[in-house]
Structure 1
């Protein structure tokens, strides 16, 4: 196992504690199936629908674990973070339920639906340019000004332990899975999935799915070291951020492979899911299905858990709309 120096790596005991802590604040989301997609792929697909989660995304799990795990002294000045959207609104939701302030840094190009949700939950937004360097620089100023507890959107043991509760539920809901696939950006969900599977179902392969236009995790995986892009352009806005030390630990030790999909393939998979399953999902969530359709030989004949990570979409600017 590769070490993560000077960083706490969460264990499955942390996942159990997280699940107990967050249960009052989250949904146990359903698992849906589709005979159409099973026939199309030659696999049995089980869609874990975090688009039905509180705040519309899986990230509420990690955010709630972090917020409700704070001591009274730690929570006194509230929390702060940087995020393209779903972590920002999830942390705002959790902070609101605890009654503490939440300050978030978001790219000015983040979907309006996500900005509206942050403000609706009581979060205060400071905008930045759509690059990792700008996000981190502006965040440093906001944290210095507010003094809030930093809850990183993914490179945080508390967040990863919370995200791991999703795949724990999936294993309780679906028996004898052969593999699980989820989107990868910074790697919080994938890390949580690796944590759960390595503890409860080590024979289940964990795959990650990434936009070709933001394929730094894929290139990192193949190179054996973190390769970070600063400002990739993709319709999958939730997957633009790079891996960090803690998430790289899980990816490098536990992920079986990473697959990529083009922008057209992502949009087609998103549209097809809306059409055939009648559910609202974000472009980021369509990446796993897009890669399954592209790599049918890998998944044919297998029972596949597919994590649909969120449903916070700007309905007025859907990616297949013209002009």
Structure 2
């Protein structure tokens, strides 16, 4: 099969198209003929040598794919309600940048009715991440207000749409006015250009001084102290990435007085059993929204798989709104 491998840690140019043996599914796994692979920030970090795959995972990048089932544990397939030839999208442990990929059956979901493989490949990584960190860990409730740092990212556009479907108010930060317009078109109530506006001042203004209930943060670093100022009493800060650095100042007194919660998580190291539970929750609570048209696929650009380096360069530039996808 063809695959995109990381020849050595470095910039986008280290990605190269190669021939690799097809993977063999083990117990509880299925083999997918990949039509499309999602591109995500963890892929970029892995390519740079900063996010190694967990033990036993493929060294190939790629954490989400969509395509057809072409092999796997027959009994487990039947028990999960799948058959050979079914179209699925899957969260993988790695190996998604390839024409064939194995995935635990419990981390696979049917391609939503009416969705293409390209669109479906944009779903697993962002949906799993948002569901875990916004709805489970941060406990966002209908009527509450969510602040998304980086509203135009793949995570951001997913968080906007799910939070609005839950009956929440959404504020986002973005880097330019075009991204602000795109986020508002998806349902964001307010979009703050962090390059020209102080997001703390703006959050206080649009919430009447109250602050927000939940913040989904991909920056950390120097943002942490400012984000506590944005939280309402009993607010929750959920950190999913550290693009601004791993260290920052927190006012512990404010955490105590205002009953604030600071949490965070990474998805890749979690167990298959845990991810299987998340997949079941998504199928029950989110898939009906997708199939009812209440969630729009946001694909910024589709690249031939051989142009994975260009996809990574675009992701690192930040000049995209929504997801980047590789087509096989």
Superposition TM-score tier, normalisation by shorter sequence: 0.3 to 0.5
TM-score, scaled to structure 2: 0.34
TM-score, scaled to structure 1: 0.35
Which one has the largest radius of gyration?
A: 2
Structure having the larger proportion of residues in strand: 2
